Amino acid sequence: MNRWYRNGVIYSLDIETFQDSDDDGVGDLRGLTDRLDYLGRLGVDTIWLNPCHPSPRRDGGYDITDYYGIDPRFGTLGDFAELVSQADEAGLRIVLDLVVNHTSDEHPWFRSALSGRAAPHHDWYVWADREPADRWDGCVFPGSEEETWTYAEAVGRWYRHRFYRFQPELDVEHPAVRAELAKIVTFWLRLGVAGFRIDAAPFLIESRGRRDFGLLRQLRETVSWQRGDAVLLAEANVPEDELLEYFGTADDEASRATMLFDFRLNQALMLGLARGDAGPVRERLRRSPRLPGHAQWATFLRNHDEVDLGGLSSEERGDVLGRFGPEPHMQLYDRGIRRRLACMLEGDRRRLELAYSLLLTMPGSPVLRYGDEIGMGEDLALPERTAIRTPMQWSDGPNGGFSRAPAERLVAPLVEGGPFGYERVNVLGQRRDANSLLTWFERVLHTRKECPEIAVGRHEPVDGGPSEVLVHRAETAKGRMVFVHNLGSAGTCVRIPAEPDDRALAVFEDGAYDDRIDPAEVAIAGHGYRWIRLVTA
């Protein structure tokens, strides 16, 4: 099996906000295809597309009405096939969102279900004949949706929806539903996709008060049969003792998910950056469980949703909110922050580089959100999670180069004015600047690919030294690396682990340091970072 994902870099984007090719104000597949060279030059190798299926888009496309189609605003299935073909030529893979916990209430299945209890698709959804006792419990979006059950007068029953009420929940225990899901993944794999990001994975394994990984196992079997190297990347923000269950058992380690988002590491990174203290990251590295041989973490700083701080203590959460989201309108769902990282770090270039250097040296495959590479900002005037879903800023021209449509027809307003507006933060301007953040990203992503120890090595934190400095090592049978990151503002010196006959070679650094590295006294600037390879002399 080709485990390409173990040393990959994933780029997450919304088609509708990336590039408009036909001047209707909405990004589309042809626009994305035209930008593949940009993504290849950047250094990513996998494009994760947020939902692209037909949808009323009341929840960013996660309310799907047809799993076998492309939203007409984005193009056609032919356009999608062309995207996959061109991406393959450029050495890029396409991963789709698999949103099968729920459908839109406008999906033909649900409309059929509302026509009567004997309707063919009625039993495909989760129903209750009486008002459920847990009607007000467990909503994913508190403050925006309070109920998890809604009464359907047409059939005199309650249907479940742990997301919004316009997203009725599928009964994934139903044999016909499972058979349909197998058809869906087969359809898209046959069109050339390299795998799926499984939305809300924990809800797919909860079955009548117990956890059942049967569906995840069946999806794995279907995917492996159709394309042996395809990945299943599960979104599962679950307790520590449940994490490894999503990958599979020791006897059959490839039986479930291939990758899992590392929410615990994300929270440790945010806490460490907020406090200027490496302790949370050091502790996370120490406690992170060993994964099966096929498995991999997907690491991130910002994803397409809020920064979810639910796994932190109230004191820790308060520290992160106080530093990065102190105003109520910056927060979301009583658990997170709805800002872009560049804004949270006040556009400070040194701290941005530090944050992404930290991410890129952690065990796993990093996931970048579109616009991260140029330091895009957010629009807090937009509701909920859409604050960070603004059009890509390609230039300082009209509509930031995203579209030639009139501004009032754009799918979302661009970030304008101020330090993060498209007039100042854009690809074209940074492409012309040899010292821009975009240029830095291109260098660091290509450098990371030359350091397989990061992706597949065994990582260990190194004790000792100032609390604000993280020293950790990554080792394989073929190589050893040490990484030094200073989360504090003052420069200092640290000791790195090395054998007497080791030579320490600089691989990537935040600035100019002495050419000769003495492992007993390694200088590190405030908010600095150093990637060091150890070789036997």
List phi, psi (to 5°) of 489.
-95, -10
State how far the Cα of 416 lies from the Cα of 283, in Å rounded to an integer: 40
The reported pLDDT for the residue numbered 194 is 98
State how far the Cα of 532 lies from the Cα of 486, in Å rounded to an integer: 14
Q: Which residues pair with 401 in a beta bridge?
A: none
Q: Classify residue 350 as exposed, middle or buried by CB count within 10 Å of its CB (0-12, 13-18, 19+).
A: middle
The reported pLDDT for the residue numbered 465 is 87
Do the beta carbons of residue 227 and residue 189 sit within 8 Å? yes
Q: Does residue 79 share a domain with residue 44? A: yes
Residue of 26, 20, 19, 25 lying closest to 407 (CA atoms):
25
The 3-state DSSP class for residue 218 equals helix
Residue 452 lies inside a defined structural domain of this protein: no
Residue 368 lies inside a defined structural domain of this protein: yes
* C-alpha angle 390-396-399 in degrees, rounded to nearest 5: 45
Residue of 16, 34, 137 lying closest to 72 (CA atoms):
16
Q: What is the 3-state secondary structure (H, E, C) of 249-284?
A: CCCCCCCCCCEEECHHHHHHHHHHHHHCCCHHHHHH
Do the beta carbons of residue 396 and residue 423 sit within 8 Å? yes
486-532 pLDDT per residue, tens: 999 999 999 999 998 999 999 999 998 998 999 999 999 999 999 99
DSSP element (H, E) containing 471? strand 469-475
CATH number, domain containing residue 146: 3.90.400.10
Residue 489 lies inside a defined structural domain of this protein: yes
Residue 267 lies inside a defined structural domain of this protein: yes
Of the residues 447, 469, 496, which one is the last residue of a structural domain?
Answer: 447
* C-alpha angle 201-205-210 in degrees, rounded to nearest 5: 140
State how far the Cα of 97 lies from the Cα of 101, in Å rounded to an integer: 12
Which of 199, 306, 353, 468 does the annotation list as catalytic? 199
Helix, strand, coil percentages (3-state) for the chain, rounded to 5, are 30, 20, 50
Residue 443 lies inside a defined structural domain of this protein: yes
Q: Which residues pair with 448 in a beta bridge?
A: none
The reported pLDDT for the residue numbered 517 is 95
Q: Does residue 311 share a domain with residue 247? A: yes
State how far the Cα of 266 lies from the Cα of 316, in Å rounded to an integer: 13
The reported pLDDT for the residue numbered 250 is 54
Do the beta carbons of residue 377 and residue 425 sit within 8 Å? yes
List phi, psi (to 5°) of 264.
-65, -40
Q: Does residue 495 share a domain with residue 367? A: no
The 3-state DSSP class for residue 72 equals coil
Alpha helices in 158-289 (DSSP H): 175-190, 201-205, 214-226, 263-275, 279-287
Q: Does residue 491 share a domain with residue 366? A: no
Which of 145, 235, 262, 468 does the annotation list as catalytic? 235
Of the residues 397, 425, 447, which one is the last residue of a structural domain?
Answer: 447
360: containing domain: 4-101+175-447
State how far the Cα of 194 lies from the Cα of 87, in Å rounded to an integer: 11
Q: Does residue 254 share a domain with residue 216? A: yes
Q: Classify residue 301 as exposed, middle or buried by CB count within 10 Å of its CB (0-12, 13-18, 19+).
A: buried
The 3-state DSSP class for residue 16 equals helix
CATH number, domain containing residue 217: 3.20.20.80
104-156 pLDDT per residue, tens: 999 999 999 999 999 999 999 999 999 999 999 989 999 889 999 999 999 99
Q: Does residue 332 share a domain with residue 200? A: yes
Residue 170 lies inside a defined structural domain of this protein: no
The answer to whether the pTM exceeds 0.75 is: yes
The reported pLDDT for the residue numbered 138 is 87
Q: Does residue 193 share a domain with residue 95? A: yes
List CB contacts of 266: < 8 A, sequence separation 6 or more: 299, 300, 301, 307, 308
Q: Classify residue 334 as exposed, middle or buried by CB count within 10 Å of its CB (0-12, 13-18, 19+).
A: exposed
158, 219, 224, 344, 515 from 256: Cα distances, Å: 32, 8, 10, 36, 47
Do the beta carbons of residue 530 and residue 486 sit within 8 Å? no
Q: Does residue 441 share a domain with residue 316? A: yes
State how far the Cα of 522 lies from the Cα of 516, in Å rounded to an integer: 10
Residue 522 lies inside a defined structural domain of this protein: yes
Q: Does residue 384 share a domain with residue 267? A: yes
List phi, psi (to 5°) of 518.
-95, 110
Q: Does residue 24 share a domain with residue 90? A: yes
Residue 54 lies inside a defined structural domain of this protein: yes
Q: Which residues pair with 471 in a beta bridge?
A: 484
Of the residues 447, 465, 492, which one is the last residue of a structural domain?
Answer: 447
Q: How many domains does the chain have?
A: 3
Residue 76 burial (CB count, 10 A): 14
Q: Classify residue 278 as exposed, middle or buried by CB count within 10 Å of its CB (0-12, 13-18, 19+).
A: buried
CATH number, domain containing residue 511: 2.60.40.1180
State how far the Cα of 53 lies from the Cα of 55, in Å rounded to an integer: 6
Q: Which residues pair with 197 in a beta bridge?
A: 97, 233
Q: Which residues pair with 308 in a beta bridge?
A: 336
Is 235 marked active-site? yes
Given a cut of 70, the residues of the chain with pLDDT beneath it are 1, 207-209, 249-254
Q: Does residue 509 share a domain with residue 530? A: yes
Q: Does residue 39 share a domain with residue 153? A: no
Greatest distance between any 2 Cα atoms in the chain: 78
Q: Residue 301: how many CA atoms within 13 Å on its side-chain side?
A: 32
